[in-house]
Structure 1
């Protein structure tokens, strides 16, 4: 492929949430885009990048000229590569620490495209929906469209979308004592969700069942789904 063909090829940067099921779903989607003619840059965290190399061998992520694997730091302390990272710490880091290294990586990727013509500039970002707290900002800064890719069922996404409304209506967080788990409170019917009849509090994703306004995962999920409508 000559430099003119490289420069005009659509280039999708795909970034999953750094957990196994999200990565697997995103890589399948990236393969479909690749078969449709896209240049792919697949971005893992350094932690998961190392796990792949340890599991599959040192050359397993060499990729193809038009399907490359890259990594950005997650700003977490070193941990055992054979275990899943602490999800609470990971969510907090995604909220606070991922934008700067991701933006730096995007800038380098596009500068390399201009200087070496080895890859086309990024023409779009495919972001896991739960990474939207920083990927939407980065996409706006480089003027690229962004697609949010959710690896959950549509009914699950609709449930996550209710978290803000549930808080505003005073139904969550749950009361400080744990009686709400046994006194029928979780059977409160939510009658405002489009297309979902007879949904109760207990039917929403279990992240809702927290008694703390500072619950990291609850706030992470709520903030991420709040931004879903901002995708291109």
Structure 2
């Protein structure tokens, strides 16, 4: 490593977080930094296995991929956020400190780690940076409005919105700051994770990092002033450097935990322009068998071509089955898709999405209208942004059984694709976001200032 200044980055070990940090890492590498990308051992193996040919291109770049254990066994459930966060807090800090010591002296050659950029959910790493006298920065991978909620915890408790465990005291609306969107307690992101006990663990885990964050020099986020003017105006220390665009090598997307099925791109080439419903629910969403069948039949009922991502772990963990009536003749089903290439394909008409922040940004950057089906965490507020603030999508309504019916899916697909105003707003928002990537924009200047600070 010699004397190249190194930046160590540490994402929370989930697909969306890894994606955001990889995009940041590529930007840092382009500015001459060596990046030490620290994954959990479990995810590191999956990233490396998902595309064997990528190893040379990844390792040949200015990004080095290393790993430390998250403390869980290979068969343990990493979808349990509370369990994973608790294990990480016990297992990773000592390993990270040892890793830094090993990096600093490799075969007698001194390597300068000038900064640690940690996920907000991995705030303990910033304490290590402080202890070792290393610069520190944090990256928040959700919307700025969700960071505003976290920063407002003391006031939310004082105002009787949540109790000391972060649990909403009653279902109601509230407003963090004047002119900010009206929020509902259902949109407080940690209150949408697992059962009540899990929510308490996740809340206390993140609340504990607030004091550390206050002494951290840079707070970065994957957003823009145009997307979130009000939250960012009330959080001047939170610096938007988005929109992040997925890193790819050829047609493959780097950093994926599942192997991408590229056959869907050839299939898309055979479809008419603006005709395909793209259906993808990220890396966590699980459906029960009844809802899964209704989704399958709803796609068939729409009588339109569809590209549907059904992860392999969905089948193995819930033992779902396609209904007997489902023929799927108009569609293609894959285990994981190269989403960047899919969303930019001219055949895509709309995106049925879980509304994760990365997927939201990717859909917006490609001018694709949304049908919103949030699952947990911040996704319910992102749906609010999409449907009510930006007006580039529609949500599904539940029936009396709490299910999205097949008829509701067809109804909303038809309604969305018949609405030229939604399509027009989607294209305008795409143009606005893509202009932020150009030199001289506020977000590009923000990143330049961050790079300058790193080099000081």
TM-score by length of structure 1 reads 0.78
Q: Give 1:137's match in structure 2, choosing from 115, 124, 127.
A: 127
Instruction: Provide structure 1 residue ranges, at least 5 long, that are not aligned to the other structure.
Output: none
Residue range with higher mean Cα deviation, 90-99 or 199-208: 199-208
Q: Which residue of 1 aligns with 2:65?
A: 69
Q: Which residue of 2 aligns with 1:204?
A: 188
Contact kept? 1:161, 1:226, Cα under 8 Å: no
Contact kept? 1:12, 1:125, Cα under 8 Å: yes
> Structure 2 vs 1, CA of residues 226 and 168 (structure 1 numbering), >3 Å: closer, same or farther?
farther
Which is bigger in relative contact order (C-alpha 8 A, separation at least 6)?
A: 1
Matches of 1:60 and 1:213 in 2, distance apart? Answer: 36
Residue 124 of structure 1 and its aligned partner are, at CA, apart by 0.8
Matches of 2:122 and 2:179 in 1, distance apart? Answer: 26
The C-alpha deviation readout for 1:11-56, integer Å capped at 9, x for no partner, is: 1111111000000010011000000010111110101011112222
Contact kept? 2:191, 2:199, Cα under 8 Å: no
Q: Which residue of 1 aligns with 2:204?
A: 219
Instruction: Map 1:93-104 to 2 at 5 A.
Output: 93-104=87-98
Q: Which residue of 1 aligns with 2:227?
A: none
Q: Give 1:230's match in structure 2, choosing from 178, 197, 215.
A: 215
Matched, 1:11 2:1: no
Matches of 1:57 and 1:125 in 2, distance apart? Answer: 28
Instruction: Provide structure 2 residue ranges, at least 5 long, that are not aligned to the other structure.
Output: 218-456
TM-score by length of structure 2 reads 0.42
Residue 160 of structure 1 and its aligned partner are, at CA, apart by 1.9
Residue range with higher mean Cα deviation, 140-149 or 20-29: 140-149
Instruction: Map 1:159-174 to 2 at 5 A.
Output: 159-173=149-163
Matches of 1:127 and 1:174 in 2, distance apart? Answer: 26
Residue 112 of structure 1 and its aligned partner are, at CA, apart by 1.6
Q: Which residue of 1 aligns with 2:117?
A: 126
3-state SS in 2 of match to 1:79: coil
Residue 146 of structure 1 and its aligned partner are, at CA, apart by 0.6
Contact kept? 2:11, 2:39, Cα under 8 Å: yes
Contact kept? 1:16, 1:44, Cα under 8 Å: yes
Instruction: Map 1:16-35 to 2 at 5 A.
Output: 16-35=11-30
Matches of 2:44 and 2:74 in 1, distance apart? Answer: 13
3-state SS in 1 of match to 2:55: coil
Contact kept? 1:173, 1:211, Cα under 8 Å: no
Q: In proportion to residue count, which structure has more helix?
A: 1
**RMSD of equivalent CA atoms:** 3.1
3-state SS in 2 of match to 1:14: strand
Contact kept? 2:117, 2:138, Cα under 8 Å: yes
> Structure 2 vs 1, CA of residues 212 and 154 (structure 1 numbering), >3 Å: closer, same or farther?
same
Matches of 1:63 and 1:96 in 2, distance apart? Answer: 30
Matches of 2:79 and 2:185 in 1, distance apart? Answer: 29
Matches of 2:117 and 2:161 in 1, distance apart? Answer: 34
Matches of 1:129 and 1:63 in 2, distance apart? Answer: 26
Matched, 1:50 2:45: yes
Residue 213 of structure 1 and its aligned partner are, at CA, apart by 9.8
> Structure 2 vs 1, CA of residues 58 and 104 (structure 1 numbering), >3 Å: closer, same or farther?
farther
Q: Give 2:74's match in structure 1, choosing from 71, 78, 93.
A: 78
